[in-house]
Amino acid sequence: MKKALRIIFFFAIGIAFIWWFVSKLTSTEIDQMLLSFSNANYLWFVIAILVNIFSVFIRTKRWQQLLQPMGYNPRLLPTFLSVMSGYLANLAVPRLGEIVRCGLLKQKEKVPFDKAIGTVIVERAIDLILFLLILLLALFLEFNYIKDYIYNNFSQTINFDNLKNYILYFLLFLVLVSILLYAFRKKIANTKFYKKIIEFLKGLLEGLKSILKLKNPLLFIFNSVFIWFLWILGTYIIFLCFDQTEHLSFKIAIITTVLGSVGPMLTPGGIGIFPAIIAETLVIYLIAKPIGYAAGWLLWIVSQLGAVILGLAGFIYFVQNKKSNERDTENTI
């Protein structure tokens, strides 16, 4: 029941974002958005799907590389399908996919769950670092556009003069929390939450050790950057689907991808909020919201369609394999 309610809650948030954004569009803008869908060049859409699937293939190769220093060399197909199944699980509950893919890999390739989780944590840490670096790059490249957009749209709701005070209050809050944690450190050390954090850090440390033992660290770095490049390339290809956005540069695709990647952090797969973020981002470059929303939905479908099809194939693959193993065990007995 708790899992069902959690799934319903996250999807409700996504649906609320869809309703909120569409409710701000006029009937003319809605017609314009629907017309954009009908006039889109779907050849580019198919190419974007293939690029997205290829990015998952590179992610799979990178995961294999992290597992090898610990003495595990999982085969490509089950590893790839476990990653895809994890993406599908993320559509139900954010971050559930990391647990799912490690569990499936343990079932098929006998990779210990805790060690697999350690490598996944390292993956996420590397992705976060690259996210921040690319975000800084995007802000540097498009600083004037973003500054003007924030000033024109939020200057009345945000008091920038008090921004320093907010930062100071936040720092004081962090100091107060640190003092309290230190004062009650003995009691905290006996809580289940603290023990779970320690286990989490141990798994992270195990994964970090795998980075230090990589046979080809340059390949690992290249794959990590290449994954982001493919995501950005997918966004740029979606721009080519519409006459109104085909002139947008690869530079604009960078910031659109980075800002859009916040969506999946908030709702399952970014449903509802992801297209809205894309639309609001493209407004900066004078793209009408209906066009930006249509582009956002196509980009969202690109990111999820492969996960749904290949993720379902992955679950079927692992279920059939499990049944086959059970029959073999019964025959042996």
pTM for the full predicted model = 0.77
Q: Using CA atoms, how far apart are residues 231 and 48, in angstroms rounded to an integer?
A: 9
Q: Using CA atoms, how far apart are residues 8 and 92, in angstroms rounded to an integer?
A: 9
Cα dihedral angle (190, 6, 127, 318), rounded to 10 degrees? Answer: 100
| Two tokens, residue 201 | 């850090």
Which of 262, 267, 238 is closest to 250 using CA atoms?
Answer: 238
End-to-end CA distance of the chain: 38
Contact yes or no for 260/278 (Cβ under 8 A): yes
Which of 32, 45, 17, 90 is closest to 276 using CA atoms?
Answer: 17
Q: Using CA atoms, how far apart are residues 70 and 328, in angstroms rounded to an integer?
A: 29
pLDDT in tens, the chain (333 residues): 665 565 565 556 656 666 666 676 677 777 878 888 888 999 999 999 999 999 999 999 999 998 888 888 899 999 999 999 888 888 777 677 888 899 888 888 888 888 888 888 888 888 888 998 998 888 887 777 766 666 665 555 555 556 567 777 878 888 888 888 888 878 777 887 777 777 767 766 666 666 777 888 889 999 999 999 999 999 999 999 999 999 999 999 999 999 888 877 777 677 778 888 899 889 888 898 889 989 999 998 888 888 888 888 888 888 886 665 555 545 555
Q: Using CA atoms, how far apart are residues 171 and 160, in angstroms rounded to an integer?
A: 18
- Number of Cβ within 10 Å of residue 293's Cβ equals 26
Whole-number pLDDT of residue 191: 81
Q: Using CA atoms, how far apart are residues 16 and 10, in angstroms rounded to an integer?
A: 10
Q: Using CA atoms, how far apart are residues 48 and 298, in angstroms rounded to an integer?
A: 10
Which residues contact residue 332 at a Cβ distance below 8 angstroms, ignoring those fewer than 6 apart? none
Q: Using CA atoms, how far apart are residues 77 and 16, in angstroms rounded to an integer?
A: 37
Whole-number pLDDT of residue 12: 65
Whole-number pLDDT of residue 153: 58
Whole-number pLDDT of residue 203: 61
Q: Using CA atoms, how far apart are residues 83 and 85, in angstroms rounded to an integer?
A: 5
Q: Using CA atoms, how far apart are residues 75 and 81, in angstroms rounded to an integer?
A: 10
Which residues contact residue 12 at a Cβ distance below 8 angstroms, ignoring those fewer than 6 apart? none
Quick one: angle between helices 42-67 and 113-141, nearest 10?
130
| Two tokens, residue 182 | 């230190």
What SS3 state is found at 182?
Answer: helix
Which amino acid type is present at position 245? T
Whole-number pLDDT of residue 139: 80
| Two tokens, residue 81 | 């399908």
Whole-number pLDDT of residue 266: 72
Q: Using CA atoms, how far apart are residues 235 and 266, in angstroms rounded to an integer?
A: 20
Whole-number pLDDT of residue 68: 87
**Maximum alpha-carbon separation in the chain:** 76
Quick one: angle between helices 192-212 and 42-67, nearest 10?
90
Q: Using CA atoms, how far apart are residues 182 and 201, in angstroms rounded to an integer?
A: 19
